[in-house]
Amino acid sequence: MAWAIIGALVKSEVLPPKNIIASDIAVERLELAEKEFGVTTTQDNAQVFAKSNAVVLAVKPQFLPEVLENLAASPEFPGEGRKLIISIAAGVGCAKMEDILYTGLDEDAKSRLPIVRVMPNTPALVGQGMAGMAANAYTAEEDRLTAQTIMDAAGKALWFDEKDINGVTALSGSGPAYVFYLAEAMVRGGVEAGLPEDKALAMAIQTIKGAALLMEETGEAPGLLRKKVTSKGGTTAAALTVFHENKVLEAIVKGMLAAKKRGEELG
């Protein structure tokens, strides 16, 4: 995800490459980032913190505590200026990050270290991501604008109360997998209907893309658009009747609620 965000910031010209510094334990990854985007790189997270106004923590959840602890123990921490911390580690709430970063800090230092939690999704890799964001109590309007600008570069982003982030995860965070699952079913159905697999895949992709664009541009509810394209006694109605009989819609909703519950368990 870090790669997607850096690429989006550079491509959209939100930030010039010289203003971006990336850190990773893998030297080859850093060399590739320098070559691909022209950004500055380092293996020292503390250096990134010291030189940045906004720090994006794009690490796996199990590694985030260690990264935060190392930052908090560095000589550069907490610094004199304002530092916005943006975490995209799934399942790690603002309170957990505060427990590590704010220990031993006075109110003034805490107020200069706002935290924003982000739940992105994989279409950010192609600049079409959807992110949900939540801010802690020390986050000012200027910090929200910074986080919004960064995440909008890779698609779109909306603000939520942190209590709703697991719902965001269930919808947009895991959502691409649901769409891929639908595409998988459409391709299989096309093949069983006698179509070549490559053409079935191309048709499924364009159909999903076109339907999404139609929803966006018309602003009409999905249910209304579905009814408009469904003629009584027609082919679409025949398919939807089978879906209704097998409670496909209900199964999707149950799956999303299971994802939300799992997010709560992990958090």
**DSSP track, 48-109:** HHHH-SEEEE---GGGHHHHHHHHHHSTTSS-SS--EEEE--TT--HHHHHHHHSTT--HHH
Annotated binding site: 45, 58-61
Q: What is the mean pLDDT of residues 244-265?
A: 96
Annotated binding site for NADP(+): 58-61
Phi first, then psi: what are they for 40, rounded to 5°?
-80, 145
pLDDT of residue 216: 98
Annotated binding site for NADPH: 45
What is the C-alpha to C-alpha distance for residues 163 and 190, in angstroms, rounded to an integer? Answer: 41
Domains of the chain: 2-163 (3.40.50.720), 175-266 (1.10.3730.10)
pLDDT of residue 142: 98
Q: pTM to 2 decimals?
A: 0.91
What is the C-alpha to C-alpha distance for residues 259 and 175, in angstroms, rounded to an integer? Answer: 10
- Residue-wise pLDDT for 172-227, tens only, equals 999 999 999 999 999 999 999 999 999 999 999 999 999 999 999 999 999 999 99
Pairing status of strand 129-135 against strand 84-87: unpaired
What is the C-alpha to C-alpha distance for residues 153 and 86, in angstroms, rounded to an integer? Answer: 15
What is the C-alpha to C-alpha distance for residues 184 and 245, in angstroms, rounded to an integer? Answer: 20
pLDDT of residue 267: 72
Q: Are residues 138 and 116 in contact, defined by beta-carbon separation less than 8 angstroms?
A: no
pLDDT of residue 266: 81
Q: How confident is the model at residue 50 (pLDDT cuts 50, 70, 90)?
A: very high
